[in-house]
Amino acid sequence: MVPEWEEAYMKYDHLKTVLNGILIFGRRKLNQTSPQKGILLRRHSFHRAWSGLTNRFGNYNDRDNDAEVILVCEIQHQEQSPECQNYQTMFFRSWEEGAENELVFFRRLDDEFNKVNSFYKSKVDEVVIEAEELNKQIDALSALQIKISDPNFQSSSTPSNPGVLPSEEIQELEEKSETDQIEMVSLEVLNHVKINVTPESAVSTLKTIFDGTKSDLSFSKGELRTAKAKLKQAFIEFHRKLRLLKSYAFLNQLAFSKIMKKYDKVVKLMERVETVYITHFANSNRSQGMSDLRPRVKRDEHRVTFFMGCFFGCAIALVVGVILTIHARDLLKSEGRDQYMINIFPLYSLFAYIVLHMLMYATNIYFWKRFRVNYAFIFGFKPTTELGYKEILLLSSALLVLTLAAVLSNLEMEIDEGTESFTTLTELVPLGLVTVVLLIMFCPFNIMYRSSRFFLIVNLWRYVCAPLYKVTFPDFFLGDQLTSQVQLLRTVEFYICYYGWGDFKRRSNTCNQSKIYEIFYIFIAVLPYWLRFLQCMRQVFEHKDYGPAMNGLKYLSTIVAVVTRTIYVQRRGTAMRIIAASSSGVATIYNTYWDVVKDWGLLRRDSMNPWLRDKLILPYKSVYFVAMVINVILRLAWMQTVLDFHEAPWLHQSTMIFIVASLEIVRRGLWNFFRLENEHLNNVGKFRAFKSVPLPFSYEDGDKEL
């Protein structure tokens, strides 16, 4: 079943409920009559209702009893077009006792059949129109390819109607060789198309603003390569649409055989799409082309589970080792405790933030898959390349092992009498770990989930360059993740300061004494919210919708709150404390409202589920109310800054900062699940099951017939 089309499928449970009403009436009649007579009456009523539809229980030879029990006819409303026909079942035994239940059943059956039939017809019409558009795109691509390879080529065998070919000519075209197809291409089509192959980049966006969009054909090989790549992706996505339609028809035909009248059209269209794709994009290699159009289903690998278990086992052993080392040296009461917590603890907390975020993301994926949230489609992952929760757990456990091993080795090198305390090698362990992680992240070889790593890098670049790129769901979703990793970004700044101009050989730093460091300390915290604000402004100007503008105000209020809180921590003062508390309170209320009402779609007073939504994925409504309360509580974690909880004598300031940052990451993980659930339900409500792929050529309005 296609999750986004769930409402368009036949509702078996509802029809079974109506059928149960018929059976209950039969049982009641059975209690009011003799047992043998009751059984005969019940069988007679039930079988007669079905005999006219399926001919499984009745006997058409008995015309006196079963003739003209039901009649299915086509009806057409005045406001509908001739092609929009509905089917209605007439039940001729409505005068019999208990027939009202059977009438209800056939009315519901008609409604379900008409719903499925109408939905399928509309989707078939869409793919037929798109097939015609792709046909014109292939004409333009073929003509462009001939023009570039042979500029002096003259088409002598131009068809009478270049452009969209009739079905008979398409059939003949499929039977001819590739050379014959090329000879039939008309170069006249290039006079009526514009090229849409300019790649979206920061530079191209700026050129578009100042110089306008260049859409004329220059007949370059670069244009041909880009157009071919775009059209290739369009064919893959179109083939996926046809597969979904075929699956939809297959599932519904179990109950509705008449819907198969349109099924054959889709099958033939699929065969034509496969033929064109294999010819133009797979070098006539059918196995290669079908592997692109029908990618294999991703399977779980046992080695992923095995290594994930090994890494988590090693992580547990390393945690025990770290605890025993701290206890053996009594480091919690040593003179160097503050020195370690101020200088070394923040360096390793960077990896703890990353691991915790990955663990929350793995949890999200597990529950998204369990409750059939199509996260791969929403994020736009390439089929069969998206990471499952096991792969995420594998990566997070491996990073956790590296981090704990670095921590333990750092402690052991200090204990070892053979190494001098606070040596350069000891202090460079965290920096070496950062270097290893960056090398793995930007490794160009096809190892360690390269497609997923590059997907993250590309979306991170688009986020940093906001608003020069069109904002997609992965872009602003990643931006929201980074707004919850402010402390991680500040730790990166501390890395630069500690190893850049701090005397790390003596495990000390003068970062807090630098005005430049204080300014960047505020700038780093504001940057994620500012980039999200720019993304919202791009959405406002692009879609002429002022909803994102209200979302942008949320990020501006958060910027004010972050700046005032940071200044209060640096300067103190009663007045600054009041300003920080007030701005943070306003930002918290605004952010909480947007989380619950806008991002999660909850608190709908007139909903079928009071104060929730009409559609819910989780079976227990109480989970949503608990999630809202937890979100509010975790949003209030900023209060520790204003109320000076970090100065508690039993807890070090670095530890408190780490706990508050971790709570924000946990809150973001909770937010992720319900945000994607709401997005998935919006896609379901609009029957969005596949993405729209931009085509390389745009035909001028006056020449659409070409």
Q: 697 pLDDT exceeds 60?
A: yes
Does residue 196 or residue 246 have the better pLDDT?
246
| Runs of H (alpha helix) within 73-161 | 99-149
For 437-453, give the DSSP string: HHHHHT--SS-SSHHHH
Do residues 549 and 536 touch, judged by C-beta distance below 8 A? yes
pLDDT of residue 245: 87
Q: Helix, strand or coil for residue 514? A: coil
Q: Residue 170, CB half-sphere, CA atoms under 13 Å: how many? A: 18
Q: How far apart are the first and last CA of the chain?
A: 38
Task: Take residue 623 and report the two structure tokens written for it.
Answer: 């989970």
DSSP lists the bridge partners of residue 86 as 75
Distances (CA, A) of 350 to 8, 363, 492, 511: 47, 20, 8, 17
Q: How far out from the chain centre does Cα 78 lie?
A: 41
Q: Which helix (H) or strand (E) holds 47?
A: helix 35-54
Q: 511 pLDDT exceeds 80?
A: yes
Task: Take residue 317 and report the two structure tokens written for it.
Answer: 């052993």
Does residue 382 or residue 91 have the better pLDDT?
382
Does residue 671 or residue 224 have the better pLDDT?
671
pLDDT of residue 96: 59
Q: How far apart are CA 102 and CA 30, in angstroms?
A: 17
Q: 275 pLDDT exceeds 50?
A: yes
Confidence of residue 158 (pLDDT cuts 50, 70, 90): very low
Q: How far apart are CA 103 and CA 129, in angstroms?
A: 39
pLDDT of residue 164: 42
Average pLDDT, the chain: 78
Most confident by average pLDDT, 175-189, 279-293, 310-324: 310-324
Q: How far apart are CA 481 and CA 562, in angstroms?
A: 16
Q: 527 pLDDT exceeds 90?
A: yes
Most confident by average pLDDT, 7-21, 92-106, 468-482, 558-572: 468-482
Picking from 51-65, 154-168, 433-447, 579-593, which range would have the lowest pLDDT averaged per residue?
A: 51-65
Q: How far apart are CA 255 and CA 706, in angstroms?
A: 42
* Percentage with pLDDT > 90 across the chain: 33
Q: Helix, strand or coil for residue 87? A: strand
Q: 44 pLDDT exceeds 60?
A: no
Most confident by average pLDDT, 107-116, 332-341, 606-615: 606-615
- Between strands 86-91 and 193-195, the pairing is unpaired
Q: 672 pLDDT exceeds 50?
A: yes
Q: 47 pLDDT exceeds 50?
A: no
Nearest Cα neighbor of 5 from 674, 618, 675, 686 is 686
pLDDT of residue 442: 94
Confidence of residue 264 (pLDDT cuts 50, 70, 90): low
Picking from 412-426, 491-505, 644-658, which range would have the lowest pLDDT averaged per residue?
A: 412-426
Q: 191 pLDDT exceeds 60?
A: yes
Q: Pseudo-torsion of CA 399, 404, 406, 408, nearest 10°? A: -170
Does residue 675 or residue 175 have the better pLDDT?
675
Q: 176 pLDDT exceeds 60?
A: no
Confidence of residue 669 (pLDDT cuts 50, 70, 90): very high
Q: How far apart are CA 432 and CA 410, in angstroms?
A: 12
pLDDT of residue 66: 43
Q: How far apart are CA 247 and CA 257, in angstroms?
A: 14
Distances (CA, A) of 446 to 218, 458, 517, 584: 35, 16, 39, 45
Do residues 111 and 10 touch, judged by C-beta distance below 8 A? no
pLDDT of residue 282: 83
Report phi then psi at 487, rounded to 5: -65, -30
Average pLDDT over every residue of 453-464: 94
Most confident by average pLDDT, 185-194, 281-290, 389-398: 389-398
pLDDT of residue 178: 45
pLDDT of residue 16: 72
Q: How many C-beta atoms surround the C-beta of residue 128 within 10 A? A: 13
Does residue 616 or residue 197 have the better pLDDT?
616
DSSP 594: I
Q: How far apart are CA 219 and CA 149, in angstroms?
A: 10
pLDDT of residue 67: 47
Confidence of residue 704 (pLDDT cuts 50, 70, 90): very low
Q: Helix, strand or coil for residue 255? A: coil
pLDDT of residue 293: 80
pLDDT of residue 612: 93
Confidence of residue 33 (pLDDT cuts 50, 70, 90): very low
Confidence of residue 464 (pLDDT cuts 50, 70, 90): very high
Q: Which residues of 111-122 are buried (b: 16+ CB within 10 A; e: fewer)?
A: ebbbbbbebbbe
pLDDT of residue 262: 44
Does residue 612 or residue 277 have the better pLDDT?
612
CA 480-364-5 angle, 5° bins: 95
Length of the chain: 706
Average pLDDT over every residue of 627-634: 94
Q: Which residues of 371-394 are buried (b: 16+ CB within 10 A; e: fewer)?
A: eebbbbbbbebeeeebbbbbbbbb
Report phi then psi at 703, rounded to 5: -130, 35
Whole-prediction pTM: 0.72
Average pLDDT over every residue of 453-466: 93
Q: 179 pLDDT exceeds 70?
A: no
Task: Take residue 324 and report the two structure tokens written for it.
Answer: 């025993």
Average pLDDT over every residue of 227-236: 87
Task: Take residue 663 and report the two structure tokens written for it.
Answer: 């709570």
Confidence of residue 383 (pLDDT cuts 50, 70, 90): confident
Picking from 111-115, 152-156, 290-294, which range would have the lowest pLDDT averaged per residue?
A: 152-156
DSSP 75: E
* Percentage with pLDDT > 70 across the chain: 74
Q: How many C-beta atoms surround the C-beta of residue 694 within 10 A? A: 11
pLDDT of residue 685: 62
Do residues 241 and 103 touch, judged by C-beta distance below 8 A? no
pLDDT of residue 261: 42
Q: Which residues of 422-431 are buried (b: 16+ CB within 10 A; e: fewer)?
A: beeebbebbe
Q: 437 pLDDT exceeds 90?
A: yes
CA 16-22-27 angle, 5° bins: 120
| Runs of H (alpha helix) within 330-428 | 337-343, 345-370, 375-379, 389-415, 424-427
Q: How far apart are CA 304 and CA 316, in angstroms?
A: 18
pLDDT of residue 146: 83
Confidence of residue 173 (pLDDT cuts 50, 70, 90): very low
pLDDT of residue 99: 64
Picking from 79-83, 175-179, 342-346, 465-469, which range would have the lowest pLDDT averaged per residue?
A: 175-179
Does residue 232 or residue 104 have the better pLDDT?
232
Contacts of 649 (CB under 8 A, 6+ apart): none
Q: How far out from the chain centre does Cα 205 lie?
A: 25
For the chain, what are the domain ranges?
3-116, 123-296, 302-685
Nearest Cα neighbor of 116 from 689, 687, 690 is 687
For 596-665, give the DSSP string: IIIIS---BTTSSSTTB-S--SSS-THHHHHHHHHHHHHHGGGHHHHTTGGG-TTS-HHHHHHHHHHHHH
